[in-house]
Structures are given as C-alpha cells and as structure tokens.
Structure 1
Amino acid sequence: MEQKNNRYVHLARVVVEADTPIAIGTGREDIVTDAPVVRDVNGLPYIPATSLTGVIRHALGIGKEDKNVVFGYHDKNGGQGSRLILTDAVMIGKEGKAIDGICNKLNEDFYSHYIEKNVRQHVRITDKGVADTEGYGKFDNEVVYKGTRFVFEMELLSDDPEVEDFENSLKQLYDETFRIGSGTRCGYGKLKVVWCERVTLDLMDAKDLKAYLKKSSSLSSSWEFKNSKAFGEDNTPACNGWTKYKLKLEPLDFFLFGSGMGDEDADNTPMTDIMVEWNEKGEPSFSTQKTLIPATSVKGALAHRTAYHFNKRKGIFAENLKSKEERNKYVGGCNDAVQALFGASVDDVPNKRGKRGNVILSDVILQGVETKVFHHNKIDYFTGGTIDGALFQEKSIWGKGKSFELEIWVDNKALADEDVMWAFEQSLRDLCEGLLPLGGVTGRGNGVFGGERGNGVFGGKLYKNGELWNR
C-alpha cells in the first residue's frame, strides 16, 4: 500500500434540511411501528455517517470492487482504509444550534414532537385496486418531519491541496436525485443544503496547524476558519442520466387521500402532516396541520395505469390469457413496464430477487385549502332503503384554484425501451387530462386533477426536461 505524507487536510461543515420526510430505519420493529427511525442518546433522530458515506459513494458510481483511494477498498492483497471521514449528522435544535451530546431541554414542546413517533400508514394495493388481504397488505413506518435540519462535517487528508474527489463528494449533496434512507422511491429521503463552508489547511504552516489542533470535535461549536469559502448551489450537478417530468396540476373540485382515522366531524379524514419552519434568525417552529398528497398514492396509480397502457400497446388482453401464470405475468408488479420503472418485490419476480424502482417522486403539501364534510347512508341492496345505524361521514378537500407542481425523475435506463417510455408518458397524459383520478372515493367523482390550459380546455401542463410536452 502506497504511503502518503498527508500534508493537507480538507474540511467542510454542511447544514442540510429534510426537503421531504426522511426515514433512516433501525432494521427492527417495535410495539408502535414496523420501521422506527434511528435515534441518538437523547431519543432524537440523526443521520448515521455510514448512511451518508454509502449514498455519496453510490452517487459517485464507486462500486464494491473499485480500488478507490479516497473511500477505501479491500482486496486479497489487503486494501486501504478510507481517507474521507464523515461525522454523524446531528439534529439542530430549538435555539438553532446542533445538539451534540446530552440535551437537558427535551421537556420543551418543540422536542416533544420528535419524542412522539410520526408514523405513516400504508396499504398494499393489488392489481384489482383493492387492499392485499393475503399478504402483508397493512404496514407502517416512522418518518422524520420535513424541514428538520442536521449538521455534519467531512474531512479528507491528502498530499494534494486540490482534491477533486472531495469537491465531487460535496457536489452530490446538491443533486436533485440525491436521496437517503429508506422509501426513497416513495417520496422520502430528499435533502436540501442550507449552508456549506469548506477550507483547506496546510499542516506545514504553523497557523493552519494551530487552527486544526484547536478545532473542537463538537458540532455544536462554531465554525471559526477565517479563510473558509462557501460551497454554493452553483456546484449543482447536471443530473445526467435522468429525465425530469414536471406536471402542473389543479384539482377539478374535491379530493381525498384518507388518513385511515376520524375526528369529531367525520369518520374518514384527509391525510395531513406538520413540518418544521425556520425564521430569518434561524429558529425553528412547527407549522399547523397541512394537507398532504403522498407520493405513494401517486406512484401506485401511475404504476397500474402504466401496466394498462403497456399491455394495450403489446396487444395483451385478458381474454387471451388462459392460465393463472399468464395473467400474473402481465398484471400488477409482474408487468415488464412496472418492473422497469417502479421495481418489484421478491414476491413478484420468479427468481425472488427484488428490484429497486427507477422513478423518484416527492410528497406534495398544499396550504390554504378548505374541507367539506359529506354525509352518507349505507343502502340495503335488497330493499333499496337505508340501513339503521349505518350513517358515516367523509371529510374531503376542496382544492379548486389551488394549483401545485409534481416533479418526477426517471432513470434513463428504465426509458430505454420505447414501449415502456410510451406507456409511462401516456399515464402522465391521463393524469394531466383528468382521466386518472387519485386518492380515495374516486368512484364518487373525487380526485380528478388537471387544470385550465386556456380557452376552456381542461388539462394540466406536462414538461419533459424543461420543455412543454406536446401531447
């Protein structure tokens, strides 16, 4: 192994914000949720250094077999340890400072939101559009609130004052497709860089050496390198290898993404969430409840409609499928287009090896919308009359006039097949033109999205790589 003098040390401190909820799991379940997030000694969420290192290394395209001297490697001849050192990303607390160590203020209201678990409910939907009752149809997971901020540091020892790998590692944090944790294909894991400073110190220089030795290892201490430079958004990568679709939509009228719970007004209420908001002084606070359009609901609808269009283009129709094996091959998660775009679980593929999806979506949060409670009676199918005691209520969202943008990133490898790309883009077209309703109670007219394109024409706008897509 080649020895280096390591005359220079490259340092960076980075503050990131959860631009979507994030879920870095423990790999275990507890009595509250199937997938709790990792927590520090205070019971507050944090991002392990191993998670950061792994996703940065993957984003740089460094495989397990690559002999990379920065991230280290191992082979039959021994290998080399990593020269890039990352700290855990600890949470920034109520006062705008990192909580690195024991915190004695956990009884305050701000921290109580993190001590109590924020759990998301999920139901697996079959190809028939109903809940999966034979498998593991119901599951949940804990997430960290959108807007939560973390701080961490990166350090690299080198014999070169300019190290491209260090710069490239920081650049990956600005990539719009950079995701961390689990559920990255279900709307979780997007980070936004709020602040980043970097400095290179010459350990042969007395002042730089003194500054390096004086530096505290605590992330709660201030960054005091006078000659450090800001590392800004001008370093954002071009996201080569991905196609970006952007949909500008507006609800026709009512929609409902159900929370699975009721309140004092209705038995079925819309899904909402709170988020962390930061003021100009860098102090956080929790918002009021905001209406949530979960990425998982959009993803599921697009996957099923993509399977339909793919089968239609291939001339695959139900009456021609004789056996159960043939039917399973072309519906749901077994469809070739669905597997290429959205991945597959181990139960959906013959070799029992799951595939990660190639489509990235994010949750959408709407503000300033109104709700309306609808009252329903259950009807006796025999008499046509109402059933005593079967009155129930649904609280829907009135979204007309509240436009929003939905961004979807797709790996170009998944779009290499022209039939797959055609089926997916036809599904996006259906969504824009109100032909693909989203959410619950769509059979009663809810969940139609589109918008006014002008001249009384209904339909949202769809952009592909920044250009309006001519449908």
Structure 2
Amino acid sequence: MTNSKIYLARLTVEAASPLGIGSGRRGITTDRLVARDAYGLPYLPGTALAGCLRNSLSGQLEDKVLNEVFGFQDNDEGIGSRLIISSGHLIGPDGKVVGEDNGLPTYENDYLKSLTEGSLPQRDHVRINSRGVADAKGHGKFDEQLVPRGVRFVFELCLHGTDDDADVWKQLVQEFCQPIFRIGGGTRKGFGKLSVKAIKQCILDLRNAEQLSAYLQLTSALDAPLPSAFTTSIAPADARQDDKWLTYELRLTARDYFQFGRGIGGISESASAVKDGWVSKLAKREPVVTWENGKPSLLSGDKACYLLPATSLKGALSHRTAFHYNQLRKNYVEDQKIKETSGPDYDSIVEDLMPVHSTLPKTPEEIKREIERLMEFQSTINEIDVDKSATFRKFTEEIDNAQTDEARPNVGENNDAVRALFGFAVERQKDENGKDKSAQRGRVLIDDVFLDSDEVQVKTFSHVMIDRFTGGAKAGALFNEDVARTKEKIVFTIQVEKTAFDGDNGDLIKNAFEEALLDLSRGQLPLGGGIAKGHGVFSGELITPETQQV
C-alpha cells in the first residue's frame, strides 16, 4: 500500500536541564562549543533529535519497524527514512521563532545576548581518582559550553505512512515526554533533559482533496499558522512509565556550609567579604531562563541560581559504591596485585647524563654511589638534572602509571560495580590480548539541582597557611573563599537502569549502591569542595523504589 497518510506534529520543548549539544569544535576559552544556527544562536540539530529518538525506541520497537520508519543501509540494501525531523529552533524574547519570517534577530535584548557564543555558561570538570585527588592527566581536566536551563525550541515531525502506523506514530511523539529521554552530550551527568510544553498534531489523508490541499499549503516555517485539522495539547498526555528504570530520591538538608565552586575568583557576593571584596573562589552560579505569558526572563548576575552539579554527586557515589562493593566482595587493599617496577638502571642513567655532566666520576661504582648520595640528600640532588635522562624519565613514568586507577584492581573503572552502573570508556579498558573492549555508557541518570538566589546565603571564609618553623603566617599563603548554605530541602533524583543490577553480582552491586546513597543521607559522605574543612555535609532521607511502592 502506498503512503496515503501524513502524520504531522509540532513540538515546543524546554530545556529542563542544561544542554550539551556540541558542534565538534573547540573555542579559545573552552574545549567544547555548542552547535549554532545561521544566526549564531543555539539550536537542536535534526540529526541529534533523530538519532536520540531512534536509540530511545530501540528497546521498545522491533528492529524491522525501526528500519522501516527511520531507514537503514546494509551494504547494497537499504531504504530511506519515512520520518522527517526538522531542526529545533530557538523561541525568541517575543515568543516567536527566531528568524524565519520574523526578520533578523536583534542582539540588544538581554535574552538573545546571553545566548551568543561568548555569553553562554561553561562547566569545568576534573576527574577525581580513587585517592581523592584531582587527576588532570588523560583529559581529566576540561570545560564545556552549555545552553542554559529553560531555553525553548520548536521542531516538527512528519511521518509518511498508512493507517497501520497510528500506534507507531503515537510512540514517536510520546517518547519525547519520557522522563528518561535525553539529547546531546553529558546525559549521564545531568545534561540533555527536555520538557514538552505543547504538542500540536494532526493526521492528514492525502486521498481527501481538502486535506491534501491543506498539506500542500504548509510551509517550512515553524511558527506558521496550522490547518484547522491540528489539535493542540498544552499539557501533553501522561508519558508511560518505563519499567526498565528504577527511581531513587535523596531528600537532603545541608547541616552547614557547602562549596561548589566556579573554579575562578572574583568579587564576593557576601556581606562578610574581605575589605577589597575579592575572593579566590566563588560559589557556582548559572543563569536560568523562566517563562511567563509566553515570554522569557533571564535570571543572571545576582539573580542567577546556585548550582549543585550532578557530576559532584555522581563522582562521590562512584567512589563510595566501589568501596562498599569491595567490602562486600572482600576485595581488600592487602590483596591487590599491582605491577611491580624495576629499580633504576644506573649505568643507563649515567650514559644519558655524561654528555651533560662531564665532571661526574668515571667508574661505574663511583657513579652509582654518587647518584645514590644525591638522591638521598635533597639539598644536593639539584646539582644533577636527572630528568634529562630518558631512562630515568621512563622509570618515573612506570612508577606513576603503577599508581593510576587504571593499573589498580577493583578501583575506578576496574571495579565491577562502577562499570555496571557508571560505564567505562574504550581507551581505558583492554582485554588479555591488548585489544579495546566495547565501551559501555553509564546506566545512572542524575539531575542537577538549582537553588533560587534568595534561598541561599553566602559567607566568606579567610584562610592563611601557618609556617611550621616560625609559627607565624606564611608569606603569600593568604586566601579566602565563598561558601554557601540554605535551609531549603535539596532533592536529588537518581534513575538507574535495571540492567545494571543483572548478572551474578547484581544483588551485591545494588546493595553497594544503596549503601552509598544511605551514606549521603546519614551525613557520612560529604559533597563538593572543602570537605576536609567541614563543608559539604548533608543529611536526610533516601526514598528507594521499594519504599515508593509502599
């Protein structure tokens, strides 16, 4: 049967979390730039929408149906897609789609100005290793540009089909309403969540002359008037509950101050700031867009929301889950077998250094004793630049590599619970033959928490390092930092894919993960920075899938 029906839908969506839809380019001040349209403003590429939609439906529709709807290519065989998805374009300050028939945008408006390339918020990240320190090597330190939470876009779906596609069409549209649907990068660290604000849709029968005429008169403009056949759902129908995911909820209260920093200093927002107002660390804040009567308002500057990033919670949970899992499996540090490194090859080191240090003793035994003496006495070791020896550099690299999480069993991505819950990367996992193992993305979704500016109080703490010899202040070691507190209840929503708890060790992984969550609720697992100074302690209650059903 030929395609006699046209299924059409226009969706208005809001970024329920920041969006990390990358352009694949790097900027001068950031490692990852967001995708932009012809006006230099963020947009949702149709390829990203189509790819995420197909992937999200892959476990619900048969492969045959997916191939018929989205198309496929297998060597010489293949068919084109029957589903057409437009790019999602920005809704401007006047409530209309930016550009198109509405003229060129003016960037004098604060809303549009905040979405230009140099004004978008950035997130900086650093990987924390199993010893609790920053691991900046191997791309462990980077930052990325984001589209703020609250920005709205419009895009269209069009399916060419028959009467038999009615059920598939319903699933296509409703999939965007799913709580676990994500788009773009960083979906496992709080980004990419959409909230559907309106759905306008209709089904046109091309065998009907009136409906065929209505279809032919449609334009590509995303805010053009729609035929009367379209029905509008301001509040989308309830999305089906995905039985493949479990939902946990942490309802926490800050016992005192917490520190989620911006990574930079600046003028303090605290009334108790130092005399000149400058602090070395500022509390993390991010602009958010709110809507009233179809018009956006930008909360920025002193009205910007305070941020408790999902990455901070994710990192802490990952390490603590590994701890509990190792405890349950009785994987103790005494039993770890770490690759041993050989001692330094003195003869090779000397051979490397002889052209540089011609005054060294000449016999091997004298040379060996001299190097050992220099390594023992720190005050004299600087006389020889040992780093100029390639052999010595190789020796120190072997020691450093032996201390990384990748080389240690049962920690980081080598921990079965961490791999099952938080995934692992191709380049960090090898099989016994030295080949890359298949990558696995994380099965845990955590949302950022944004706190209104009037709900948070900021205080400045001053610090000075004490010279242990004199007992006085150490010169140049005076600094200060902003910390925050709130009396409001902080709710973290955590969704876990059930497959993370499959397998022989599934029960142990689940127990370890829930114990880590309980540690947070008991105040035994601090979050953020300055935890050694008493910051970041939260307590409250954990709502598990089992307690939600009671």
TM-score, L = length of structure 1: 0.92
Q: Distance in 2 between matches of 1:160 and 1:226?
A: 17
Q: Secondary structure at the match of 1:79?
A: strand
1:381-418 Cα deviation digits (max 9, x unpaired): 3333211332211111022x210211001010102211
Q: Distance in 2 between matches of 1:72 and 1:164?
A: 18
Match of 1:363 in 2: 448
1:41 matched to 2:38? The reply is yes
**Alignment partner of 1:230 out of 229, 233, 238:** 233
Instruction: Describe how 1:410-425 pairs up with structure 2 within 5 A.
Output: 410-416=496-502, 417-425=506-514
Q: Distance in 2 between matches of 1:379 and 1:188?
A: 42
1:406 matched to 2:496? The reply is no
Is the alpha carbon distance of 1:82 and 1:327 closer, same or farther for their aligned partners in structure 2, counting shifts above 3 Å? closer
Q: Secondary structure at the match of 2:79?
A: coil
Instruction: Describe how 1:183-332 pairs up with structure 2 within 5 A.
Output: 183-230=186-233, 232-265=235-268, 266-279=279-292, 281-287=293-299, 288-324=303-339, 328-332=408-412
Counterpart of 1:60 in structure 2: which amino acid? L
- Larger CA deviation: 110-119 vs 46-55: 110-119
Counterpart of 1:188 in structure 2: which amino acid? F
Q: Distance in 1 between matches of 2:46 and 2:98?
A: 16
Match of 2:473 in 1: 386
Match of 1:69 in 2: 68
Displacement, 1:161?
6.9
Match of 1:454 in 2: none
1:27-78 Cα deviation digits (max 9, x unpaired): 2222221111100000000011111111111111169964621111223562
Q: Distance in 2 between matches of 1:414 and 1:58?
A: 18
**Alignment partner of 1:166 out of 166, 169, 193:** 169
* 1:199–1:229 CA contact under 8 A, matched in 2: no
* 1:186–1:360 CA contact under 8 A, matched in 2: yes
Is the alpha carbon distance of 1:466 and 1:143 closer, same or farther for their aligned partners in structure 2, counting shifts above 3 Å? farther
Displacement, 1:205?
1.5
* 2:200–2:230 CA contact under 8 A, matched in 1: no
Structure 2: 5+ residue stretches without partners:
269-278, 340-401
Give % identity: 39
Provide the aligned length of Structure 1 versus Structure 2.
Answer: 456
1:15 matched to 2:12? The reply is yes
Is the alpha carbon distance of 1:77 and 1:64 closer, same or farther for their aligned partners in structure 2, counting shifts above 3 Å? farther
* 1:70–1:83 CA contact under 8 A, matched in 2: yes
Q: Secondary structure at the match of 2:450?
A: strand
Counterpart of 2:18 in structure 1: which amino acid? P
Q: Secondary structure at the match of 2:134?
A: coil
Match of 2:384 in 1: none
Q: Secondary structure at the match of 2:70?
A: coil
* 1:100–1:220 CA contact under 8 A, matched in 2: no
Match of 1:437 in 2: 526
* 2:197–2:236 CA contact under 8 A, matched in 1: no
Q: Distance in 1 between matches of 2:172 and 2:262?
A: 39
Match of 1:350 in 2: 430
* 1:180–1:189 CA contact under 8 A, matched in 2: yes
Counterpart of 1:276 in structure 2: which amino acid? V
Q: Secondary structure at the match of 1:357?
A: coil
Match of 1:457 in 2: none
**Alignment partner of 1:337 out of 410, 417, 421:** 417
Is the alpha carbon distance of 1:466 and 1:226 closer, same or farther for their aligned partners in structure 2, counting shifts above 3 Å? farther
Structure 1: 5+ residue stretches without partners:
451-459
Counterpart of 2:288 in structure 1: which amino acid? M
* 1:273–1:292 CA contact under 8 A, matched in 2: yes
1:256-299 Cα deviation digits (max 9, x unpaired): 011111122321111111101101x2000101211100000100
Counterpart of 1:442 in structure 2: which amino acid? I
Match of 2:21 in 1: 24
Match of 1:104 in 2: 105
* 2:337–2:409 CA contact under 8 A, matched in 1: no
Is the alpha carbon distance of 1:226 and 1:201 closer, same or farther for their aligned partners in structure 2, counting shifts above 3 Å? closer
Match of 2:142 in 1: 139
**Alignment partner of 1:126 out of 124, 129, 138:** 129
The answer to which structure has the higher helix fraction is 2
1:331-353 Cα deviation digits (max 9, x unpaired): 12221111110112334322434
Q: Distance in 2 between matches of 1:52 and 1:388?
A: 55
* 2:260–2:284 CA contact under 8 A, matched in 1: yes
Match of 1:87 in 2: 86
Q: Secondary structure at the match of 2:462?
A: strand
Counterpart of 1:406 in structure 2: which amino acid? F
Displacement, 1:133?
3.7
Match of 1:78 in 2: 77
1:154-207 Cα deviation digits (max 9, x unpaired): 111122175211110111111111000000001100000000011011112222
- Larger CA deviation: 34-43 vs 373-382: 373-382
TM-score, L = length of structure 2: 0.79
Q: Distance in 1 between matches of 2:333 and 2:185?
A: 35
- Larger CA deviation: 151-160 vs 55-64: 55-64
Q: Distance in 2 between matches of 1:64 and 1:52?
A: 20
Is the alpha carbon distance of 1:469 and 1:65 closer, same or farther for their aligned partners in structure 2, counting shifts above 3 Å? closer
Is the alpha carbon distance of 1:362 and 1:384 closer, same or farther for their aligned partners in structure 2, counting shifts above 3 Å? same
Counterpart of 2:308 in structure 1: which amino acid? I
Q: Secondary structure at the match of 1:69?
A: helix
Displacement, 1:229?
4.6
1:67-118 Cα deviation digits (max 9, x unpaired): 6211112235622111111100001111011124362312322211111232
* 1:254–1:398 CA contact under 8 A, matched in 2: yes
Q: Secondary structure at the match of 2:294?
A: coil
